[in-house]
């Protein structure tokens, strides 16, 4: 047997033993992500994917307070530490979102306190409004 075959056999045996002993991957994931400030712990992962894209926010949707963590102009993404995004049913967390346009990327600065509206645009969570906190 080569090393890869032995490794695969050992991994298979370990997983088999863990599951037969009642080990749960979801319990491992919950423990692992609770210590990670950038995790999505607390997010309802059982929500159907269509829920976020089917619900349209109203034009009077309230903005959510957030802090800009980082801006990546190469990918067009802005990482936010934000409160609950009620229009897309997302709890408070730190996560990267697509910026609506290049001007938004230019105006966003790491550490800035902002107000945002995140919406599903073509099935991509996108920051559609970003302004300084009042």
Domains identified in the chain, total number: 2
Residue-level pLDDT at 91: 96
E-only strand ranges, 1-134: 64-72, 77-82, 93-99, 113-121, 124-132
Q: Is the pTM of this model over 0.75?
A: no
Residue-level pLDDT at 26: 45
The model's confidence at residue 110, banded by pLDDT at 50, 70 and 90, is: very high
The model's confidence at residue 47, banded by pLDDT at 50, 70 and 90, is: low
Do 126 and 72 share a structural domain?
yes
Q: What is the pLDDT of residues 74-96, one digit of tens each?
A: 999 999 999 999 999 999 999 99
Instruction: Tell me the CATH number at 85.
Output: 2.40.50.320
Domain that holds residue 91: 49-132
Residue-level pLDDT at 54: 45
Residue-level pLDDT at 62: 83
Cα separation, 65 vs 87, whole angstroms: 14
Do 89 and 28 share a structural domain?
no
- Residue 55 domain flag: yes
């Amino acid at each position: 047997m080569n090393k890869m075959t032995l490794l695969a056999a050992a991994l298979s045996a370990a997983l088999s033993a863990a599951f037969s002993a009642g080990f749960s991957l979801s319990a491992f994931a919950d423990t692992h992500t609770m210590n990670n400030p950038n995790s999505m712990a607390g997010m309802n992962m059982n929500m159907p994917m269509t829920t976020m894209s089917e619900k349209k926010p109203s034009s009077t949707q309230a903005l959510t307070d957030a802090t800009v963590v980082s801006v990546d102009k190469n990918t067009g993404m802005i990482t936010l530490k934000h409160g609950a995004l009620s229009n897309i049913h997302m709890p408070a967390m730190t996560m990267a979102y697509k910026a609506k346009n290049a001007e938004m990327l230019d105006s966003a600065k790491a550490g800035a306190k902002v107000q945002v509206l995140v919406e599903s645009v073509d099935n991509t969570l996108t920051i559609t409004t970003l302004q300084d906190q009042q």
